[in-house]
Homo-oligomer: A and B are copies of this chain.
Amino acid sequence: MSNYTNSPCAACKFLRRKCTSDCVFAPYFPPEEPTKFANVHRIFGASNVSKILHEVAPHQREDAVNSLAYEAEARLKDPVYGCVGAISVLQRQVLRLQRELEETNADLMRYASCLGSETTSAYGGRRG
């Protein structure tokens, strides 16, 4: 049963089965969030989700469910790339930022050396 109400959890309600006190889904699929379970069920299947939950330590199950829900939602929005699409976008953004940072650092080095020679010239530094 859900921790918060007397209703069966969203998973048991969806699967039309009795929600027992040791239900593996109940702590992570409260009845108020029916879509969360419907999504992971549609993409991974209830038995795969249950298998994954049993594979991870109890204190990591909430993170596991949330990452599965994130992946499932991404796959439903974009059946071709799912959340791998987000990875590609972020990888391209990282490459672009690294390039921009390199260019800005190069500009900074040029300014710094230019300022060095201006200062030397203006305040009587040695010149060749």
Contact = CB atoms under 8 A, between A and B. Distances in A.
Interface stretch (A1-9, A16-24, A31-39, A64-72): A64-72
The prevalent SS among residues of A at the interface is helix
A15 interface: no
22 contacts: A43-B48, A45-B45, A55-B79, A56-B80, A60-B80, A63-B80, A63-B81, A67-B80, A67-B82, A68-B82, A71-B82, A87-B90, A90-B90, A90-B91, A90-B94, A93-B94, A101-B104, A104-B104, A104-B105, A104-B108, A108-B108, A122-B122
Interface of A: 42-45, 47-48, 52, 55-56, 60, 63-64, 67-68, 70-71, 75, 79-87, 90-91, 93-94, 97-98, 100-101, 104-105, 107-108, 111-112, 114-115, 118-119, 121-122
